[in-house]
Structure 1
């Protein structure tokens, strides 16, 4: 396959949200010999583009007049500047992730103006009871959220090929009338981390963590419903456990000090060093996925799954995303029967009392799953085949 000039376009600000995972994907495609331009939104610039290049990867940050959480792909200035900027370049293919206005409108302009094939990925269920409802409430979902839903759904039909990250989104896209033969299940991958080879006991000494205690780890943002599910599950197992496991929450989480002490929780706050995050994971025994079984959680693929597994951590998850299907093939942890605190507590308690041989089997299977399913090198090869179908 000849080298392609590919525009990879997202709405996210550099360094936030799924940006890091998209960057990993871009780097993997560049390592496979493709010329990649990654277009994202600047975290600060209002008027100027900024560019940086290395080998076959160029990162372009577009300006945006909005601020904070509003810099999420809805600014008309950002859209116009992207279109004007992109018209000077020639690409062989456009790969757009999700359908925010700052993504889909420039992508479609390029597609129609310069006859460039478009691959469109669906990574989140936002409208129709999805993330818009969870994050912003009923009023937003029924007003501005309806505009989000329009953009999320309407323009999908113009893609030459489509990728989704879960069977839930596969079905939704097909229900919108998009042909099955053009829909491809491509998950968010990961690159095996050196953290997988950190010595667990040595890291525990460095962070002054108990050497013999079972440690649960959660990395990232926990929405209120998910946080309450976890806290309720921990409260349930506290009455059963001879020795309460330690739970490390990486990221910004506010929990009452009395609850932290009662449930044996450590909150690290925001960690700017990825290496430090990886070390905390390597010091732990299990990676937590405590998510309620909402529409949005059934549709998404939590990127932390790859991070946990690449650190050798078996998962303790509720039945979200495609995890129930995956666990039937790969014993990479345990999934609860339901998405409630009682069911989740059952697998937490079982994990505390599991035999070493069973734990080691899940630990080794985690690496096998990464190597066979989630390694970016493998996913990039799948993407290149999809790109060929688009031409």
Structure 2
């Protein structure tokens, strides 16, 4: 009987030692790191940022910042490299060395925790929207492209992220007549570039003229079966709710009023939710108001990775953490890949297509919603492309 009790006691002790927070590997001594992540110039708090480091066995220790950019987690003792990333880390990240002391809490200086822009970003100016204002308000740099420059893939491929404002397709043009532009955008996303489109700019994705007036419109590069958008929205205010937990935690809001300042905005009539993730819906009708996907790829145009040449020595991987049974997207230096490969990690995103970029589509204008929660949402979108 005593032997059985001893075995039970040792079993319980093992369970307790393995259940420590923030993925502490069994037997690993730790200390605590805490701080606040902010943007690089304007020092705005960055919610939802991934903060992580590794122990000597390449096991990850991680947490995410709250809506105020604050974090606190236990890390393995010794000289460690602390990483801070948003999205998959390919466009915004920073890292620095830190000495972790056993059972000690270290408050890190905010100056070390500012999120650097590693992406090269561009926007196409629009008649009805100005996402570039939010980007610069965060303290980051974005370059302007013209509609005609999208015809030149050598220009398009220099960027990591391209923002397509509502009204950026000239009223005298039709996107269905610019197959070269949509082919370039298809190749751009396939090879790692990310797109943001608002309202009428959905025409770049699914076709139409300078807007989309019907399902199955001519042009675009996204399959019509995955998304139907028609510009029959009515001016007014809609109450929305955030369906994505990470987005809600990062912004600190779950519901918001969205101002549709003009009529004829692009309503999402139908969406394939195995291809698109709905991030924001209208309360009551459940109508999608913001969606994203990283499932797009065109195998016929796979080629060199697009974007900032300074990122050429970095690679995005899917790291598996057995302790929490979690798959985590991170971006690491290429010379670190062999150790991660030995750990059992894989190249590319944990979900979606291997090396393709992300597409976000919002039905509303950012400039009409700068005084409510949607600005926080759009700031999160920018930092997570």
**What is the TM-score when the length of structure 2 is the normalising length?**
0.27
Q: Which has the larger radius of gyration?
A: 2
**What is the TM-score when the length of structure 1 is the normalising length?**
0.26
Bigger share in helix: 1
